[in-house]
Structure 1
Amino acid sequence: MLPTSLDITANPKKLNIMELEGAQLPRVLDDPKVDVAIISTTYLQQTGLSPVHDSVFIEDKNSPYVNIVVAREDNKEAENVKEFVQAYQSPEVAKAAETIFNGGGCAGLGIADMRGAPRIYSSYPSFSIFVSPSTIDS
């Protein structure tokens, strides 16, 4: 479970904390009653703001909030899975992500074997890729 406002044990500044869905955040930035919003790069893009130039804080590559691409145990050594990993971690993909996320993403960090499945750790914010088994098998 991720923390919620119910986990706050003290609020000495008496901040009014509102929990909103990520998709709502670009609109609340225009509300003069909102001073700060924690917003992912994907939703920030809708505002025209730059995560690099307009942020007060941006997570680094060691953030625990990364996307993971996972292969099945029986497919983890398949040639097309290896090709996908290589392509995903390529300089071309890193450059494309930098363009897409206005500098707010960083390249895939490598492969780790967790519970027998190769995983690509990437901190391209909210950059998700879903590969169906039929795609992997072809």
Structure 2
Amino acid sequence: MAINFDPIFDGMQNGPEKIKGNFDKVNDGFSWGPQQKFLNLNGMTDNFDYYKIRNDGNEVLITLYVTGDGNGSCYLPTSISKRIGYSLSTQIVGRTDNNGIGFMNINTDTGKCTFHKPDGSGMYIQALVPLV
């Protein structure tokens, strides 16, 4: 079924060009998709954890705040985790509330994310991770 757009653009100077120009601004590849929640949070708070995929598909932005003893875990969808690097594990550095350093390990095969912290304080993670 074909749609006739002529009545929509009738009387609009450069209507189709303006719409295409606006679409190109939004779809430049450098914008980010919507926030998405990690899957199966286990032993973690659910108030500050999300990831976003860049529209061109080249990077994922990971944002987390891990509380407790750090024995919790969560999952990225395997459609994303399998595109992170070429090894079976990727490690991302985080900063604890006590100015220590902790880590988030991502099993790229399963998407499981686990954490290591030197103390019981919260740990912030915010990282841009390239996708292949």
TM-score relative to the length of structure 1: 0.25
Structure exhibiting the larger radius of gyration computed from Cα positions = 2
Which structure is higher in strand share?
2
